[in-house]
Amino acid sequence: MILEVLRRLVNWVEGEEVFPPEKAAPMGKSTVHVDPMNEWLLSVQNRDIGVLNRLKGWAARNGAAVFRNVYRVFAGVLCVTVIFVLLATVSFLPKFGNPDNPANNEVPQRYIEKGLEETGAINIVAGMILDYRAFDTLGESNVLFIAVCSVTILLRTDRKDGKVNISELGMIETDNDDDLILRYAAMVLAPVALIFGVYVILNGHLSAGGGFSGGTIIGAAFILISSAFGPQKVERFFKYSTYKWITFAALLTYASLKFYSFYTGANHIDSHIPLGTPGAILSSGLILPLNICVGCVVACTMYAFYALFKKGGFGNGT
Amino acid sequence: MELISAILLTFLIVCALSVCLTKRLLTSVVIFMGYSLVVSVLWLLLESPDLAITEAAVGAGITSILFFVTLRRIKIIKGKSEGNDDDS
């Protein structure tokens, strides 16, 4: 009964005549019983259906525009939903600076109270990243080195014998000759930037700064010289071999300087490194040499990225 | 101080939205540079000068320069010798 009603409904949608009534199955077991439903399903697949046809036509004409608008609306709704979820999560956080917070346990307390006398650095942050957690900083410097290696593999185009491919001549910059403003500005700014970068590295344990920011400043000064006076000026002292040996030596020095702490730290032996008086440049044990190593790696990395992106190499091969 | 922080944070939100919605890539990179600068000032207001120096040097300096060099290399920006077409 329900099947009959459904069939009539589908028939009406299709826009055809009323289905002929079921033929009674002929008597006898030798005949095959034909299911009218299956018959109807098979026949549906083979003919044009009124409403479906109209639907397909409408989709072909307006589908792209409707999809675009629906996409924009859903994108906006999703964005607003994500913003609300994140804000709701933040509202459950404990109050900032509450003494009962889980982040205020004995670890930062020890760093703040005994940082100065155990590391000798007035800048507690530098003391933390280069003394208490020096291993993590070694990992970070290694990550910079690996990044430049990957970019070199992908982008380096100059060859060992110094010959440059003719097809890459378009990449070599030749329109630096008449940029007077840049050149005069660089003549004044680049030495100041270099000296400031060296100052920031050397004073990492006394004031804000350290190896990372100082190295970036020196790298930026190299980039300024390279873009104002042409890359040949920087290539006189910064070839690929320079980059290779400086980063290799810096990372090796870092690793070998801090290598003792695997032994002394685990066995609670005091390492007798003189800490000096806090406030002097030559104080705080090993933080100054480590800052210099990190600064070298970062400066070389920054200039290497610029040179590889711009010219595909450091010039003069090797 | 609260008012200054609130104004700078609103500026950050506007910057972040407009980086996505502008049509020119050069404008996006310049707005990204401004974003880095404002974040550096915010670090200073949150009393961490190490982060402020590093963010200013890396974000507003090196990253933006690398973006410009990349845009030039994929020919979105053109130099003096190649004509003065605007980028798309």
A216-249 tens-digit pLDDT: 999 999 999 988 888 888 888 888 888 889 999 9
Q: How far apart are CA A206 and CA A122, in angstroms?
A: 5
Amino acid at A142: N
Taking CB atoms and an 8 Å cutoff, what residues of chain A touch B81?
A: 174-175
| Shortest Cα distance, chain B CAs vs residue A212, angstroms | 7
Distance of CA A216 to the CA centre of its chain: 18
| Shortest Cα distance, chain B CAs vs residue A9, angstroms | 50
Q: Which residues contact residue A310 at a Cβ distance below 8 angstroms, ignoring those fewer than 6 apart?
A: A171, A173, A231, B69, B73
pLDDT band at A165 (very low <50, low <70, confident <90, very high): low
Determine the pLDDT at residue B87. 47
Question: Averaged over B29-36, what is the pLDDT?
Answer: 94
Can you say whether the dihedral through the CA atoms of B14, B17, B22, B25 is positive or negative?
Answer: positive
Q: Is the ipTM of this complex over 0.90?
A: no
Reading phi first (left if > 0) and then psi (alpha if -120 to 50, else beta), residue A63 is in: alpha
Q: Which residues of B64-75 are buried (b: 16+ CB within 10 A; e: fewer)?
A: bbbbbbebbeee
| Shortest Cα distance, chain B CAs vs residue A302, angstroms | 7
Q: Is the Cβ of B52 closer than 8 Å to some Cβ of chain A?
A: yes
Asked if B62 and A216 come within 8 Å (Cβ–Cβ), the reply is: yes
Determine the pLDDT at residue A122. 86
Mean pLDDT of chain A: 81
Nearest-CA neighbor of A163 among A5, A317, A2, A287?
A: A317
DSSP A119: H
**Residues recorded for chain B:** 88
A305: exposed, middle or buried (C-beta count within 10 Å: 0-12, 13-18, 19+)?
Answer: buried
Amino acid at A253: T
* Secondary structure tally for chain A: helices H, strands E: 12, 0
Asked if A306 and B61 come within 8 Å (Cβ–Cβ), the reply is: no
Asked if A306 and B65 come within 8 Å (Cβ–Cβ), the reply is: yes
Asked if B57 and A310 come within 8 Å (Cβ–Cβ), the reply is: no
Determine the pLDDT at residue A221. 93
Contact A17, A25 (CB under 8 A): no
Asked if B66 and A305 come within 8 Å (Cβ–Cβ), the reply is: yes
Q: Which residues contact residue B12 at a Cβ distance below 8 angstroms, ignoring those fewer than 6 apart?
A: B35, B38, B39, B42
- Scan for tokens 């980059």, then name that residue: A243
Q: Is the Cβ of B70 closer than 8 Å to some Cβ of chain A?
A: yes
Nearest neighbour of B50 by CB, restricted to A125, A174, A310: A125
Taking CB atoms and an 8 Å cutoff, what residues of chain A touch B48?
A: 125
Question: Averaged over A43-68, what is the pLDDT?
Answer: 76
pLDDT band at B88 (very low <50, low <70, confident <90, very high): very low
Interface probe with A: pick from B58, B72, B82, most Cβ of A within 10 Å: B58
**Phi and psi at residue A289, to the nearest 5°:** -60, -40
Taking CB atoms and an 8 Å cutoff, what residues of chain A touch B66?
A: 305-306, 309
DSSP B48-67: -HHHHHHHHHIIIIIIHHHH
Positions of E strands within B3-81 = none
Lowest-confidence pick of A31-35, A69-73, A76-80, A87-91: A31-35
Tens digits of per-residue pLDDT, A183-224? 999 999 999 999 999 999 999 888 888 889 999 999 999 999
Determine the pLDDT at residue A16. 61
Tens digits of per-residue pLDDT, A88-139? 998 888 887 777 777 777 888 888 888 888 888 888 888 888 888 888 999 9
pLDDT band at A175 (very low <50, low <70, confident <90, very high): low
Size of interface A-B (CB pairs under 8 A): 49
Determine the pLDDT at residue B85. 47
Is the pTM higher than 0.95? The answer reads no
Contact A318, A160 (CB under 8 A): yes
Taking CB atoms and an 8 Å cutoff, what residues of chain B touch A217?
A: 57
H or E segment and range at residue B18: helix B2-21
Q: How far apart are CA A87 and CA A48, in angstroms?
A: 53
Tens digits of per-residue pLDDT, A254-270? 999 888 888 887 788 77
Contact A312, A155 (CB under 8 A): yes
Asked if A216 and B61 come within 8 Å (Cβ–Cβ), the reply is: yes
Asked if A208 and B66 come within 8 Å (Cβ–Cβ), the reply is: no
